Amino acid sequence: MNNSNSSGAGTGRKVGGALTIEPVADILEREIQPLIKDWLSRVEREPELAAIPLSYEERTGHLPHLLQDVIARLRLDAGSKAPISKAAAHHGDLRHKQGYTVAMAVEESRLLQVSIFTMLHENVKNLEFNALLPDVVTIADEVDAQLKEQMLRFMAADIAASKAAKSN
């Protein structure tokens, strides 16, 4: 019997009356939907981001894929290089088409890290502490690598648009 409770800081996850210690990747995977909800709430409180009118799917549809890439990276052997995130590349293209600026994409990425780390704090009693700091570094590195890929695609779209405008 699994009873998950992530409603407050330090709440534990108990299995059969005992507290369950979990790897960060498992907690992220279990908490994807509440994490997306938290991220969306943070995004909606940012006037610049909220000013772009998007549906729930348009605003959050990329997150399960990006978060799965983070989870996969956490589960790689230490020292393994993660593949470039195809989801991040697609997201960069999408946000460019939706009218985002580079600063807006960076802000979304920052809010994703805040949401992830807040969720980990809320599950602190379940965390494997010996892996926590290396996992936090891995999460930050992966989210930043995704942001880099998004920005590369974003800039490529800007260059293409500029060339198209000059040829007209």
Q: What is the pLDDT of residues 110-142, one digit of tens each?
A: 999 999 999 999 999 989 888 889 999 999 999
pLDDT digits (tens, 9 = 90+) for 72-118: 999 987 666 777 888 999 999 999 999 999 999 999 999 999 999 99
Please provide the DSSP assignment of the chain as one string.
Answer: -EE---SSTT---EETTEEPPB-HHHHHHHTHHHHHHHHHHHHHT-HHHHTS---HHHHHTTHHHHHHHHHHHHHSPTTPPPPP-HHHHHHHHHHHHTT--HHHHHHHHHHHHHHHHHHHHHTGGGB-HHHHHHHHHHHHHHHHHHHHHHHHHHHHHHHHHHHHHHH-
pLDDT band of 164, cuts 50, 70, 90 = confident
Read off the pLDDT of each residue in 143-152 and give the average, rounded to a whole number: 94
The reported pLDDT for the residue numbered 79 is 66
pTM (global) more than 0.85: no
Position 7 scores a pLDDT of: 39
Per-residue pLDDT tens digits for 5-40: 433 334 455 555 567 889 999 999 999 999 999 999
Q: Give the model's pLDDT for residue 30.
A: 95
